[in-house]
Amino acid sequence: MIYYKTDEEIELIRKSSLLVGKTLAEVARHIKPGVTTLELDKIAETFIRDHKAVPGFKGYGGFPGTLCVSVNDVVVHGIPGKQVLKDGDLVSVDCGAILNGFYGDSAYSFAVGQVNEEVKLLMERTKQSLYLGIDSAKAGKRIGDIGFGIQTYVESFGYSVVRDLVGHGLGRNLHEKPEVPNYGKRGVGTMLQPGLVICIEPMINLGRKQIKQDKDGWTIRTSDGMPSAHFEHAIAINEGKTDILSSFEEIEKVLESIK
C-alpha cells in the first residue's frame, strides 16, 4: 500500500527533513580525527531534542543510536560507540527525526581530515549519482528509471551498487512503500505520481557489490573491505520539477567554513 501525501503533509515532512539537514550540519562541525562516533551521536540527539523533535532512529527496531555512523568499509547502520575517527577516514552519517508526527531522513558522507583521491572521487561521484537519480524521479516515470540513472553513472567508473539495501517511501513511518533500488531498468516498476514521497539513497562501493552483516545484527560492511559512500535526500513527486525536501546546504556551509 502506497500512501500519497497531501500538500500539507509534504510540508510537514519538509520541516522534519530540513531539521535532519541542520542536525547533520551540527555533526559536521565536530567531525575530525580523535572524535568518537558516540560523541557525534550525542551531539545529534541533543540538537534534535533541543528543536522539539525526537530522534527517528533511536529505538527503531531496537537500534541504539540517534545516528547511523558508518566508517570506511561500513556501508550503513554503523552503531555509534567507542570507535575513534582517524585522518583519512570516510564516514557516512545517516540521521532521522520525527517532528509533528512525520519523519525526516537524510544522509551525507564526510571526509575525516585528508582522504586519498580515490575515496574523494567515490564520495563526489556517489553524491552526483544521487542527483542523477533525483533528475529521473518525475511524475509519469517509474521507479526503475531512478535506479537506472544511478547505476549507469557509477558503474561507468567501475564502482558497484549495493543491491541488498534500497531507498524507501517516507511519511508517518520511516520506511514505507515503495522500495527504491539504486539499480534498475528504464520503464520498470511503480509509476511515480504526485504526492509520492520517497528517499533516494545510493550506497556505492569502491569494490564489489557484495555485503555482509556484523554479529551485532546492524552493521553492514562491504565483503571485500573496500570503502563505501552513502548520500540520501527525501523528495516529493509533483507535476513539475522534483521537490527535494531535505537539504545539504547547511552541511556544505559548515564544510566550506572549516576548510
pLDDT digits over 122-133, tens only?
Answer: 999 999 999 999
- Percent of the chain at pLDDT > 70 equals 100
The single-letter code of the amino acid at 156 is: S
With both helix axes pointing from N to C terminus, report the angle between 7-28 and 249-257 in degrees, rounded to the nearest 10.
Answer: 20
Indicate if the pLDDT at residue 35 is higher than 90: yes
**pLDDT (0 to 100) of residue 241:** 84
Matching residue, cell 556484523 = 214
pLDDT for position 239: 85
Quote the CA–CA distance of 135 and 128 in Å, as a whole number: 11
Task: Give the pLDDT confidence score for residue 240 in this predicted structure.
Answer: 81
Query: What counts of helices (H) and strands (E) characterise the chain?
Result: 5, 15
Identify the residue whose cell numbers are 523528495: 235
Q: Give pLDDT tens digits for 180-213.
A: 999 999 999 999 999 999 999 999 999 999 999 9
% of the chain with per-residue pLDDT over 90:
98
Q: How confident is the model at residue 162 (pLDDT cuts 50, 70, 90)?
A: very high
- What is residue 69's predicted lDDT score, i.e. its pLDDT? 98
pLDDT digits (tens, 9 = 90+) for 132-154: 999 999 999 999 999 999 999 99
pLDDT tens string 65-105: 999 999 999 999 999 999 999 999 999 999 999 999 999 99
| Nearest one of 105, 68, 76 to 204, comparing CA atoms | 76
Give residue for cell 562501493. 205
- Average pLDDT on 42-57 reads 98
Domain 7-257, CATH: 3.90.230.10
* pLDDT tens profile 207-244: 999 999 999 999 999 999 999 999 999 999 998 889 99
Q: Which residue has the cell 527517528?
A: 56
